[in-house]
Structure 1
Amino acid sequence: MKARPMIRLCLPKEPYWLDLPFGVRLHVRPLTTAIYEAARIKGWRKARAVAREFADLKAVGGDISGLPDLRDDDAVAGFSQLLFAQSLARAAILDWEGVLDAEGDPAAVSDTHVADLMLIQGVAEAFVGLYTAPHEAVVAEGNASRPAADGTSAVGLDIAASAATTVPPAPVTEAVPPT
């Protein structure tokens, strides 16, 4: 009999330090599903709201110089990821070291400074990766009910692999993009 997958509950319970590139250290609260999901949803919601206003702002000559072309779904997804990193960092960061303001003095942890820190691609990527790593490790340990990569169902054992196929699969056709 095969052993059933198990999850080891070893997630951090107390605030801890993350070492990021460029000498930045962040003191963060432990990540919870609620913090993660709220930041993810907030990033997507804000990106979609800005994307809806993008065309109107451009049409009236508004300043869109700091924004990607939000008529493109990939650009919206990238912008959403930035907003996710900023939201996650705002919820997580309690204190930091190695972050200076424009005058070269230690910067106070504030919503604006956190957002500015997450604009630095190497820092944002390292932060999200390191901060979410404990939760990713739990999933990687083999939770048999983890979500499928496409988010549509749970991944489990493939019990149909040896089943005989009696009907050929439907032909695959290329989707025609909407006009």
Structure 2
Amino acid sequence: MLKLDRQSGPFWLDLVPGVRVEVEPVSVASMLIAREAVAAILAPGDEAEVDDADPREVNARASVALVRALCRRGIRQWEGVGDADGNPVAVSPETVDMLLDVWPVYDALDGLYVTPALRRGAEKNASASSLAGISAAAPRTAPPAA
């Protein structure tokens, strides 16, 4: 069953001790922009680059591109994030990228923000069609093609 329980407004996520971010729910527009970032990794202009690359590395870069794109658009504000001197820094695409370079933070945002949005998109209706194109519980309405 598809559950229509999307958050209606921004919400806070605790990432690591002392660091939390306020994020917008992942929107259709954000997901489409993130898909473009993934497509740029998976289908760059130079085909030789893709052919020679380790598929695991390409998949990892695509995953990072998806998380970065969604976080750049979704993070509104944060607490506990500062520069090298400990001064608070404003949210910007550059500072979001710097934040995501910290592995525990990246992992937390991926698990708490991105993955739930992807799972919501993957939820299926209980009456989804079978691989043969018919519902398992319903009879065929037309004879099979000859």
Q: What is the TM-score of this pair, normalised by structure 1? A: 0.60
Measure the CA separation in 2 of the matches of 1:87 and 1:98.
22
The answer for the alignment partner of 1:99 in structure 2 is: 81
SS in 1 for 2:76: strand
Give the match's secondary structure for 1:30. Answer: coil
Identity %: 32
One-letter code aligned to 1:24: V
Q: Which runs of 5+ in 1 are unaligned?
A: 1-5, 56-69, 160-179
What displacement does 1:116 show? 1.2
Q: Distance in 2 between matches of 1:118 and 1:53?
A: 28
The CA deviation string for residues 116-136 of structure 1, in whole angstroms up to 9 with x for no partner, is 111222211221221142662
Matches within 5 A, 1:104-123: 104-123=86-105
Q: Which residue of 1 aligns with 2:37?
A: 42
CA contact (8 A) 1:19 1:25 kept: yes
Q: Distance in 2 between matches of 1:85 and 1:15?
A: 18
C-alpha contact 2:68 2:97 (8 A) present in aligned 1: yes
RMSD: 3.4
Change (3 A) 1:92 1:7: same
Structure 2: gaps of 5 or more residues? 138-146
Instruction: Evaluate the alpha carbon distance shift between residue 95 and residue 28 of structure 1 in structure 2; reply closer, same or farther with a 3 A threshold.
Output: same
SS in 2 for 1:20: strand
1:130 corresponds to which residue? 112
TM-score by length of 2: 0.72
* CA gap 1:143/1:46 in 2 versus in 1, 3 angstroms: same
Note if contact 1:19-1:26 (Cα within 8 Å) is conserved in structure 2.
yes
Structure 1 partner of 2:67: 85
For 1:12, the equivalent position in structure 2 comes to 7
One-letter amino acid of the structure 1 residue matched with residue 119 of structure 2: E
Q: 2:25 pairs with 30, 35, 45, which one?
A: 30
Question: Aligned residue for 1:21?
Answer: 16
Deviation at 1:80, TM superposition (A): 1.4
